[in-house]
Structure 1
Amino acid sequence: MQFIAVAAAIWVLAWIFGEAWVIILPVALAVVIGTVLWPPVRWMRAKGLPPAAAALVMLLIAAGVIAALIAAVAPAIVEQSTELAQQASAGVVQVRDWLDGPPLNISQAQLDSAVAAITDGLNTSSSQIASGVFTGVGAATSALVTVFTTVVVTFFLLKDGPRFIPWLRRSVGYPAAPHLAEVLQRIWASLGGFIRTQALVSFVDAALIGIGLVILGVPLAFALAIVTFIGGFVPIVGAFVAGGLAVLIALVANGPVTALIVLGIIIAVQQLEGNVLQPWLQSRSMELHAVIVLLAVTLGASAFGVVGAFLAVPVAAALAVVLRYYDEQVQALTHSRVESEVDS
């Protein structure tokens, strides 16, 4: 009976979480972004700038940085896209010739039959594809709403953040208020440390891999470095995807030898990150086992896509902070009980 009650409670919580996802997502993104932007906002406020002005200036600077990155990457992608398409076509021809030869010996007629089957399948699924297009339009609209909401929530977090904990203490009341305030402060500090450390590690990864790609003459080296930097915020999976993309472009554009060299550079950089940078830079309170990180990213990606993969590790870190604080309180309570029993 208790098992049924617990299962029902979990189902209700999951349903509420799913229904409130449109609100939870922008708030979670705003908290993560706020931890990154808060130190310069705090510095500007200390210099006498009003809270609203400091928050607005920092948001404008962040938007300018993102726009500058897009402006820097887009021309290279447009300029080299034609060349990459031609090289990709040549690569497809090479693959076709390899399939036609030993040991597979797949004839041209068999290849044509496979292509025709794929084409027929696409034609048969045209209505489903059209429905997917409209679904994509709706998703894009939802994404714009999420971005707008995230920006607004981030602004108010940066503007009114220091007043949130005192308001929470007054609203929740004793005895829960002190514990909740302490946990939220620890989560905020933990997330800030995690994001800043991950940004530094991702920057080092992107710089080293980007330099290697430039030396080897791989197209879109700067764009691939940006992708590597962004992928660094999704541990394990992000590095794998970004590295695979770099190897693929190197294979298509420069051939298998360059691709193998790029693969070696990526493996060496990942070893440097995992064995030197992460243990050195990441604080002990933020350490999560690699299995926990992988499971969290997998669960987040399967449930909520790319955004879920990005938020998985911060959420896991926040839960770890809660569990550690709970363990501290249990140990303190147990210790006090033992002392009282000894005194009596």
Structure 2
Amino acid sequence: MSSHSREVRLSRFEQLRARIRRAYVSGRSGNRPQPSTQPEAGEVAAAPVPPPPVPVEESGEIVHPSTASRDDEDVPHALRIAAAWSWRLIVIGLVAWALLKVIGTIRIVIIPLAIALLLSALLAPAVGWLLRARFPRSLATAVVLVTGLAAVVGTLTLVVNEFIRGVPDLSRNATDGIRQIQEWLQTGPLHMSDRQLDSYIAQGERWINENTQSLTSGAVSTAATVAELLTGALLVLFATFFFLRDGGKIWRFIVRLLPVAARWRVDDAGRASWATLVAYVRATVLVAFIDAVGIGIFLVVFDIPFAFPLAALVFLGAFIPIVGATLSGAVAVLVALVDSGWVTALIILGVVIGVQQIEGHILQPLIMGRAVAIHPLAVIVAIAAGVVLAGIVGALVSVPLVAVLNTAVRRLAHRRRPEVPPDAVVVAPTAP
């Protein structure tokens, strides 16, 4: 190899090094490398890159790149952003309104399915125990469902029987209580006369007579309501059975309907939400049981009628946080006032307040835990919205719905790729 060709190759290598060094220095300084006007030896001069064209109207005036016309340019930037947000929010509001209308139309199906999900979350651990004991899945689901149904029917039977036995005594005590209230209104600080009492009683009777038609129309529609209740109860039973038996298959089928890129994250968020729902229902049942036992013991000690039905009412009311316990406790205080006087009623009121304080400050934080922790303001707003949209059932379903959505949104917003299962097989692409 001649010395001249070696020098040519060395000069080209030096040119390459010089270009790499200039690119490195310009990259560190944050500036794009400027092409030199004088090409080096053996290098072809590159044409300069022209700057991007500036949008110009026919009149020669510059148009802002984010606007489509001169009129948009005259609108302030903040107002354009606000308008863009506004019409998007209007579209979202219309979609939400249409969704609520659809849900209201098929509420006879949506509400039983929601109740079935809550029951499935409550009974799922029992089905898991039987499956670990080598029970077939269908048999384990049937045993748990029949046992739970028998417990509910037995409890309702005891409540109805005790209520039937105690109604005569309570009616007599109620009459005595009303008489005492009338005497207190006349001799107490209000000093109401018989004429005033008679006028108020006449106004009450007049209101009843004026609203007799509405009361009668409500009674006429009872048949349709009973039919809807029976249909909903059957749907709850069937849906609960299939949720317990084939819940995993149903969820995998739903996930497969989504785009491939979203399946993994949605499946992860759904399973976390289901765990939250199970924890919420189990903790709520335990808290409700403790509340019912605590208040029921004092009702039995003070010989308050309907002790067991009132304890059952406290148990059911505890499923609606904050509001339910207050209302059920108020019913117990009223029964104590009618039956045993204001002293016993004040004692029962103190018991109810004490149990609620223990529930709010000890049981809820200890049993619920951080997995389903929701701010009290969110709980109140959810209950109010549930009552407006679906009545008592809405109040019952609203809080667990908020808990599930809270977990799902947090899991989806957390940009974390789930771990690869240990039994997954990764196939690497082969080179062509």
- The amino acid of 1:292's aligned partner reads A
Change (3 A) 1:223 1:290: same
2:266–2:412: 8 Å Cα contact kept in structure 1? no
Equivalent residues in 2 for 1:276-287 (5 A)? 276-287=362-373
Residue 35 (structure 1) aligned with residue 132 (structure 2): no
**Equivalent position of 1:309 in the other structure:** 395
Residue 136 (structure 1) aligned with residue 222 (structure 2): yes
- In structure 2, what is the Cα distance between the partners aligned to 1:113 and 1:256? 27
TM-score by length of 1: 0.91
Residue 272 (structure 1) aligned with residue 358 (structure 2): yes
- In structure 1, what is the Cα distance between the partners aligned to 2:252 and 2:88? 38
- The amino acid of 1:157's aligned partner reads F
Q: 1:257 aligns with which of 338, 343, 349?
A: 343
Change (3 A) 1:139 1:309: same
User: Going by fraction, where is helix more abundant, 1 or 2?
Assistant: 1
- The amino acid of 1:233's aligned partner reads F
CA deviation after TM superposition for structure 1 residue 6, in Å:
2.9
CA deviation after TM superposition for structure 1 residue 87, in Å:
0.8
- In structure 2, what is the Cα distance between the partners aligned to 1:296 and 1:136? 29
Rg larger for: 2
2:292–2:312: 8 Å Cα contact kept in structure 1? yes
1:232–1:238: 8 Å Cα contact kept in structure 2? yes
- The amino acid of 2:404's aligned partner reads A
- In structure 1, what is the Cα distance between the partners aligned to 2:413 and 2:262? 16
**Equivalent position of 1:24 in the other structure:** 110
Cα root mean square deviation, aligned: 1.7
- In structure 2, what is the Cα distance between the partners aligned to 1:207 and 1:36? 20
1:41–1:58: 8 Å Cα contact kept in structure 2? yes
- The amino acid of 2:307's aligned partner reads A
- In structure 1, what is the Cα distance between the partners aligned to 2:208 and 2:300? 39
- Which moved further from structure 2: 197-206 or 40-49? 40-49
- Which moved further from structure 2: 40-49 or 256-265? 40-49
Q: 1:199 aligns with which of 273, 285, 307?
A: 285
Residue 10 (structure 1) aligned with residue 101 (structure 2): no
- Which moved further from structure 2: 228-237 or 125-134? 125-134
- The amino acid of 1:211's aligned partner reads I
- The amino acid of 1:234's aligned partner reads I
CA deviation after TM superposition for structure 1 residue 129, in Å:
2.0
Deviations 1:153-184, CA, capped at 9 Å, x for gaps: 00111111122233233332402222222222
- In structure 1, what is the Cα distance between the partners aligned to 2:317 and 2:338? 22
Residue 60 (structure 1) aligned with residue 117 (structure 2): no
**Equivalent position of 1:221 in the other structure:** 307
CA deviation after TM superposition for structure 1 residue 228, in Å:
1.1
Residue 186 (structure 1) aligned with residue 237 (structure 2): no
**Equivalent position of 2:377 in the other structure:** 291
- The SS at the match of 2:260 is coil
CA deviation after TM superposition for structure 1 residue 218, in Å:
1.4
- Higher RCO (CA < 8 A, seq sep 6+): 1
Change (3 A) 1:209 1:125: closer
Change (3 A) 1:173 1:8: closer
CA deviation after TM superposition for structure 1 residue 74, in Å:
2.1
- The amino acid of 2:351's aligned partner reads I
- The amino acid of 2:160's aligned partner reads A
Deviations 1:249-286, CA, capped at 9 Å, x for gaps: 11111111111111111111111111111111112120
- The amino acid of 1:131's aligned partner reads S
Residue 245 (structure 1) aligned with residue 331 (structure 2): yes
**Identity of matched residues, %:** 33
- The amino acid of 1:147's aligned partner reads A
Change (3 A) 1:162 1:326: closer
Deviations 1:49-97, CA, capped at 9 Å, x for gaps: 2222221111110111011112222222111111111111111111112
Deviations 1:214-256, CA, capped at 9 Å, x for gaps: 1122111122111111111110011101110111111111111
- The SS at the match of 1:226 is helix
Residue 328 (structure 1) aligned with residue 418 (structure 2): no
1:34–1:154: 8 Å Cα contact kept in structure 2? yes
- In structure 2, what is the Cα distance between the partners aligned to 1:296 and 1:6? 20
Gaps of 5+ in 1: 334-344
Change (3 A) 1:164 1:112: same
- In structure 1, what is the Cα distance between the partners aligned to 2:265 and 2:111? 25
- The SS at the match of 1:172 is coil
- In structure 2, what is the Cα distance between the partners aligned to 1:126 and 1:220? 30
Q: 1:95 aligns with which of 181, 185, 205?
A: 181
2:285–2:319: 8 Å Cα contact kept in structure 1? yes
**Equivalent position of 2:209 in the other structure:** 123
